[in-house]
């Protein structure tokens, strides 16, 4: 019997393909055998050329130890998991890792189905995009039991530099949704800043370059995310003092940015909302 860990991978799109390629590139080092499936033939051919094996259907992955799923929609995830579970034979008990971002209730529902077939299931969405997938520097947020997490962790670690056991089933998905809420809200704020800068006669390409440069230094929005609670701050506490400069500076700068926006005729609703809510969001009650 082979000592190799057999890993199936379903969904070879913009993120799934480089994730699978990372596994293939590390097969010999980590003792893996990677088997891939996708409805599109070209990415499958690319993975086979790189050293993977190809399955002709999802049912061809039932003998795998771990099956990673990175397809587009909640419905596709449910379909792949259903097809895989329906094809399991005696003694086949894979650990299924759902990398797609799905509805909050989907992982727990699918875990019930998986358990009924003797399989384990985790939700393991990723953050870092196609670039992180290609470099093997993704963050993977895993929801599931300790046992299920232990089963998938070595495979996840082959594709990521940060693997977090977020909690029980569904916690990985909730982690990803919270992370992306910040991600896309920040994008919306960036478009607001671009409109303000453009109306003020500035080079918005240069502005973007400055933003990326300084975010790489300061950590961007994540720089304030060190507290273990969102409870109100107690006056005199460490974080009350630590955020005091930020509270004062943000109030001054947002007020001035809004004044500039009024001068040049640009609507900046997110800036106004930030002026109203940032200090209370940090935990200040006064």
| Residues recognised as catalytic | 176
Q: 69 with 42: CB under 8 angstroms?
A: no
Comparing CA positions, the residue from 267, 250, 249 lying closest to residue 258 is: 267
Q: DSSP assignment of the chain, as one string? A: ---SEEEEEE--STTHHHHHHHHHHTHHHHTEEEEEE-SSHHHHHHHHHHT-EE-SSGGGGTT-SEEEE--SSHHHHHHHHHHHHHH--TT--PEEEE-S---TTHHHHHHHHHHHTT-EEEE--EESHHHHHHHT-EEEEEES-HHHHHHHHHHHHTTEEEEEEEESTTHHHHHHHHHHHHHHHHHHHHHHHHHHHHHTT--HHHHHHHHHHHHHHH-GGGGGTT-S--SPPPTTSHHHHHTHHHHHHHHHHHHHHHHHHHHHT---HHHHHHHHHHHHHHT---
The tokens for 67 are: 């099956």
Q: 18 with 133: CB under 8 angstroms?
A: yes
């Amino acid at each position: 019997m082979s000592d190799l860990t057999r890993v199936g991978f379903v969904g070879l799109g913009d993120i799934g393909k480089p994730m699978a390629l990372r596994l293939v590139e590390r097969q010999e080092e980590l003792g893996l055998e990677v088997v891939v499936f996708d409805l599109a033939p070209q990415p499958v051919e690319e993975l086979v050329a790189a050293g993977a094996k190809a399955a002709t259907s999802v049912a061809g992955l039932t003998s795998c130890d771990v099956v990673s799923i990175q397809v587009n929609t909640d419905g596709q995830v449910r379909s792949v998991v259903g097809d895989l579970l329906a094809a399991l034979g005696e003694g086949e008990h894979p650990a299924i890792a759902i990398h797609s971002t799905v509805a909050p209730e989907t992982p727990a529902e699918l875990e019930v189905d998986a358990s009924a077939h003797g399989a384990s299931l985790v939700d393991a969405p990723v953050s870092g995009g196609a670039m992180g997938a290609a470099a093997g520097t993704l963050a993977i947020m895993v929801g599931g039991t300790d046992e299920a997490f232990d089963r998938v962790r070595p495979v996840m670690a082959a594709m990521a530099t940060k693997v977090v056991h977020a909690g029980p089933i569904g916690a990985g998905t909730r982690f990803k949704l919270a992370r992306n809420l910040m991600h896309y809200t920040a994008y919306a704020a960036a478009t607001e800043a671009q409109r303000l800068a453009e109306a003020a006669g500035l080079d918005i390409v240069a502005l973007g370059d400055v933003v990326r440069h300084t975010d790489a230094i300061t950590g961007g929005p994540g720089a304030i995310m060190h507290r273990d609670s969102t409870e109100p701050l107690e006056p005199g506490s460490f974080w009350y003092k630590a955020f005091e400069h930020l509270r004062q500076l943000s109030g001054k700068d947002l007020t001035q940015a809004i004044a500039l926006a009024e001068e040049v005729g640009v609507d900046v609703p997110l800036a106004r909302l930030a002026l109203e809510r940032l200090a209370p969001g940090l935990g200040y009650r006064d």
